[in-house]
Structure 1
Amino acid sequence: MTTSAGAHGGTESRRILLVDDSADAALAMSMLLEALGHEVRTEHDGARALASIDEFRPDVVVLDIGLPGMSGFDVAREMRKRDATRHALLLALTGYGSAADRQTALDAGFDHHLTKPVSIDEIEALLARA
């Protein structure tokens, strides 16, 4: 992990894997995170996300739940089995916000469940505490 401070609130720079099937949403979020001093890699489906983790070794994964092919829940479960992401901060970023959705996310291995739209300040606060 890099130890340089990010541009926002002194948060350490993190390697963040952003997984969202919406190219526009992923681009916007990655630009914000990069502007805050983080290194961001973007993938648009679970299989590609899983294929990239051994090489990228993210500190944080921001993962959409509604992905094509395999759900974000399945991706999170698989990530928790792998050395490269076993201890990474996993953030569910989703439009599904019921209590059952939150519990399913936690059961799948996510550390936090964030409902869209989420503020960049909320994400940065979680990164600062990680």
Structure 2
Amino acid sequence: MSSRPTLSPTTSVPATAARQVLVVDDNRDAAQSLAMLLELMGHDTAMAHDGQDALRCAENFNPQVVLLDIGMPRMDGIEACRRLRARVTGASMSIVALTGLDQGAVQIGPGHFDAQLVKPVGWDELIQLLHALPPPTAMS
């Protein structure tokens, strides 16, 4: 039996709405599953498995959205968010905190995270989040 979600006409993403999404999670299976969901929705994805790798990957990939795990080794998600925001394109990026518990531990607002999702992230909440984020802007 396949564990892949079934796409319906309402869940596909028009090409103009497709985004570049960086998935950052030290749990490789969780990162890969989330990236697969995003790709099924028509988004372009890249993965990193800690904060330092996320910064390196963001330099080349120029993500419009970053789904960023908070609890990671080497550099946690809060520090990675701060450093991503300090980049030239950091203000135009949507950065979403991925947390294991819904405890409101992350700061939401200008200069911080744009939203928070509790893991495991479901198909419906991922769709809702992406529709709620500002539309992608042209990256230079």
TM-score when normalising by structure 1? 0.84
1:20-68: CA deviation from partner (whole Å, max 9, x where unpaired): 0001111111111101100000000110110121221101000000111
2:36 is matched by which residue type in structure 1?
M
Q: Which amino acid aligns with 1:112?
A: A
Q: How many corresponding residue pairs?
A: 122
Change (3 A) 1:51 1:7: farther
SS in structure 2 opposite 1:67? coil
Give the SS at the match of 2:108.
helix
Structure with greater proportional helix content: 1
Conserved 8 A contact 1:7-1:36: no
Q: Determine if the alignment matches structure 1 residue 79 to structure 2 residue 81.
A: no
Residue 116 of structure 1: how far off its partner (Å) = 1.4
Q: Secondary structure in 1 aligned to 2:113?
A: coil
Query: Quick check: 2:82–2:112 contact (8 Å CA) kept in 1?
Result: yes
Q: Percent identity?
A: 39
* 4+ residue runs over 4 A deviation: none
Aligned counterparts of 1:55 and 1:118: Cα–Cα separation in 2: 26
Query: RMSD of aligned C-alpha atoms?
Result: 1.9
**Alignment match, 2:107:** 105
Q: State the TM-score, normalizing by the size of structure 2.
A: 0.79
Answer with 1 or 2: which has the greater Rg.
2
Evaluate the alpha carbon distance shift between residue 121 and residue 33 of structure 1 in structure 2; reply closer, same or farther with a 3 A threshold.
same
CA contact 2:13–2:42 (8 Å) conserved in 1: no
2:39 to 34, 38, 41: 34
Question: Residue 98 of structure 1: CA displacement?
Answer: 1.2
Tell me, which stretches of 5 or more residues in structure 1 are unaligned?
1-5
Query: Residue 119 of structure 1: CA displacement?
Result: 1.4
What is residue 57 of structure 2 aligned with on the other side? 52
